[in-house]
Chain A
Amino acid sequence: MKTFILACVVLGLILGGITANALFIHKISTELIEKVSRLPESIEHTELFAACLETVNELDETMKKHRLALSITVTHADLEGTENLLLRLRAACREKNADDYGAARELLIAKIHNLQESEGFSLDGVI
């Protein structure tokens, strides 16, 4: 009977833990997506790159702040993929490369969406 109760407690803790983790990842990824969405889709005036670089720095800070917590459940490949896209976006802003900027922004949004879905509940993920 004691083992049964212990097993029920462990199951409860697991369910609580994964729900809390899903909410945490959802919160962080929503914050990241909001910040990326603030960046303009395409840049026609080169003066805008400086403002974009500031937003990219903010994104980088958010990622660094939560990296340890994220790495508990998010695979290293997903984390590194997100960080690499941030680096690519930063480089595009510095080099004022409008083509690469647009592509990197789209890819980063898709990557964060993917991360959000993989850690939350989705039938696609389960299947």
Chain B
Amino acid sequence: MHKKILSDSEILDLIKYDPSAGMKRLMDDYSGLVYYIVNGKLNGRQQDVEECVSDVFVEFYNKIDEMDLDKGSIKAYLATMAARRGIDYFRKQAGRDNEDIDEFAELRGDEGDNPENSILETERRQKILQAVKDLGEPDSTIIFRRYFLGQQVKEIAEDLDMKGNSVTKRISRALETLKSGLEEFYFG
């Protein structure tokens, strides 16, 4: 079955015009990506993942009037929502199961409670993001695929038509570059 490719604005129009048809089309086009991201964050039971994916689409629909396609594509909105909601679910799950809490707290460094730390944290994230962008292509894409989408090396290699070894080396080199560029954060 051949589907006409719809632009982002056409999809939004379709959702506004006929919510049921529009949302079905949106889910046809993007549920695979959203599922992949959520599953990577949550790594839980399929039922939990599906529930979370569904929540992402519900959030998308509820925020449709606020969306500005000049700021971000539908793909970006959904990917961002998927990542954040996946993390929320993970936190709830970790709290519920009483597992991974210590590890999670350790990784977070408890900086969220302290406004000063929070500012530092924001600054650090911006620096890291800039450093990732500065890696240049294809390394920044590889890092994005690996750490945002959660793709395995093999998948990245297939998508980018590269060898697995080559991707592994690039990730390793990129981490070294990032580490040295961010010394001030890690070694004061």
Chain A complexes with chain B: no
